[in-house]
């Protein structure tokens, strides 16, 4: 079975992919279809149905993916505003998601389309009558639609990772729908009024996302010409602080010449260039902006301008960073897990081969820890593990890695260490662990096994096994 960190890392990748596809839709229809296609193709569900909420409160099925039969049965169906009230009354709240298990449905009351699939008697199996809903909200918190999913790819009720993934995606989908609706309205208005300057001004100033125009030619190249209120609200600057300044002075290049390369891509593209950049607010705080830049030709003899639209996506970036952190760290202690230990072992081995100076892998097993769990309960045991993890991290040298392997087993990866330095490190680890634990009378100690990391070392698993055996030898020598 795939381990949790690997699943989380895979989830991050899938979230990137489906969010990019969803964000590529220009019209409302394209965006809605991209939402359901993203759920089916990237989030691990066999069927996705999107009900769009109309201004009168009624819901209409606008997009269906994953099943031609479901599409034929549901597409275009209009339902009352209270369509979901009865189901939500008996639903479980999974964060912002709502799950309705089939066993709670009133007998004989089955609405909508039901997939014809076998029914499993496994306790966590997905039942054809199970229902999982993700409400979709605009940036103002208004309900814009309801996403329902069915037939998880593993045929089981989604676990925490896939719920979190669907919830993050639903948040982005709601914002994308809101923006697509605005885009459709803007395009319709622009066409109706023949793209007049008055219409552009109305659209520009009234847009919910930040908009700016930037000079693209001549001596004013890169200078901000116009901003709307939303642009100022998002960036934290007043109009007079922005107008006439160069936009790039507020952006942080993640790579050398990033801005120059992006401007060349804008000039070479025929459509809209999409970007994500770090922007520095007047307080010095850094936020993530996602947006588009479209090159606009104003007319013969007039300089071209960039029409830039932005949104603050810092919350999404933070969520993605948290997922990546969980993929590489132990959820109880926050220490690096085996995956991150493997990455750092590779770095230590490269350094050892470059310098010829050996490192060491230390395997630490706690003695008498079972007595803590048995006598004080697992909650106290978890607190004790977190305390011991902190002590181990404090006892090692700067640059050493302390990782939790599982249970009461830890590993320490140390670069360029031998002889007395290694002996001192072992003593520091043993002393740190053996100090009394808060509110626990059990004397917990540690046995440490060590093996060197030399230029001929190749495999972390073999090294851990050897260190484990050395640890048992050390444990057997204890009085």
- Give the residue numbers marked as catalytic: 408
DSSP 301: T
Three-state DSSP at 384 gives: helix
Cβ–Cβ under 8 Å, residues 434 and 391: no
Q: Report the alpha-carbon angle 75-77-82, nearest 5.
A: 135
Beta strand residue intervals within 314-400, DSSP E: 359-367
Distance CA 470, CA 19 (A): 49
Scored b (16 or more CB within 10 A) or e, 38-73 reads: bbbbbbbbbbbbbbbbeeeeebebbbbbbbeebbee
Look up residue 435 and give its two tokens: 């100090």
Scored b (16 or more CB within 10 A) or e, 357-373 reads: ebbbbbbbbbbebeebb
Q: Tokens 């769009």 label which residue?
A: 52
Distance CA 369, CA 233 (A): 54
Cβ–Cβ under 8 Å, residues 246 and 308: no
Residues counted in the chain: 479
Q: Indicate the burial class of 374 (C-beta count within 10 angstroms; 0-12, 13-18, 19 or more).
A: exposed
Distance CA 157, CA 171 (A): 21
Q: Indicate the burial class of 429 (C-beta count within 10 angstroms; 0-12, 13-18, 19 or more).
A: buried
Reported as type and span, the H/E element at residue 279 is strand 272-280
Cβ–Cβ under 8 Å, residues 152 and 44: yes
């Amino acid at each position: 079975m795939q381990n949790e960190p690997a699943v989380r890392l895979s989830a991050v990748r899938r979230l990137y992919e489906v969010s990019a596809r969803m964000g590529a839709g220009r019209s409302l229809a394209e965006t809605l279809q991209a939402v359901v296609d993203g759920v089916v193709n990237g989030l691990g569900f066999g069927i996705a149905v999107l009900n769009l909420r109309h201004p009168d409160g009624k819901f209409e099925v606008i997009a269906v993916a994953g099943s031609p039969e479901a599409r034929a049965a549901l597409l275009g169906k209009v339902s009352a505003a209270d369509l979901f009230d009865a189901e939500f009354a008996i639903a479980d709240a999974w964060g912002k998601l709502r799950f309705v298990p089939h066993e709670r449905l009133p007998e004989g009351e089955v609405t909508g389309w039901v997939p014809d699939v076998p029914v499993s008697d496994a306790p966590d199996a997905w039942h054809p009558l199970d229902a999982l809903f993700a409400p979709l909200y605009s940036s103002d918190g208004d309900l814009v639609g309801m996403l329902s999913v069915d037939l998880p790819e593993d045929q089981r009720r989604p676990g925490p990772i896939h719920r979190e993934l669907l919830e993050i995606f639903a948040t982005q989908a709601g914002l994308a729908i809101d923006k697509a609706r605005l885009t459709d309205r803007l395009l319709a208005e622009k066409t109706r009024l023949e793209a007049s300057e008055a219409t552009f001004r109305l659209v520009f100033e009234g847009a919910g996302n930040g908009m700016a125009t930037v000079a693209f030619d001549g001596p004013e190249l890169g200078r901000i010409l116009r901003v709307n209120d939303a642009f100022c609200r998002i960036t934290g600057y007043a109009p007079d602080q922005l107008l006439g300044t160069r936009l790039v002075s507020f952006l942080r290049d993640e790579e050398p010449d990033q801005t120059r390369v992006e401007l060349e891509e804008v000039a070479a593209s025929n459509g809209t260039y999409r970007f994500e950049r770090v922007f520095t607010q007047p307080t010095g705080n850094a936020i993530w902006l996602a947006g588009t830049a479209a090159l606009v030709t104003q007319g013969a003899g007039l300089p071209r301008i960039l029409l830039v639209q932005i949104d603050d996506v810092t919350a999404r970036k933070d969520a993605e960073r948290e997922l990546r952190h969980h993929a590489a760290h132990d959820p109880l202690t926050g220490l690096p897990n085996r995956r991150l230990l493997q990455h750092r072992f590779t770095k230590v081995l490269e350094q050892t081969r470059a310098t010829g100076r050996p490192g060491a892998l230390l395997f630490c097993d706690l003695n008498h820890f079972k007595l803590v769990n048995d006598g004080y309960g697992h909650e106290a045991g978890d607190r004790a593990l977190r305390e011991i993890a902190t002590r181990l991290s404090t006892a090692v040298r700067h640059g050493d890695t302390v990782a939790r392997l599982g249970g009461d087993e830890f590993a320490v990866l140390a670069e360029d260490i031998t002889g007395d330095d290694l002996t001192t490190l072992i003593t520091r680890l043993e002393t740190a662990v053996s100090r009394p634990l808060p509110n626990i009378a059990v004397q917990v100690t540690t046995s440490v096994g060590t093996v060197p990391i030399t230029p001929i070392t190749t495999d972390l698993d073999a090294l851990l096994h050897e260190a484990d055996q050395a640890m048992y030898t050390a444990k057997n020598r204890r009085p």
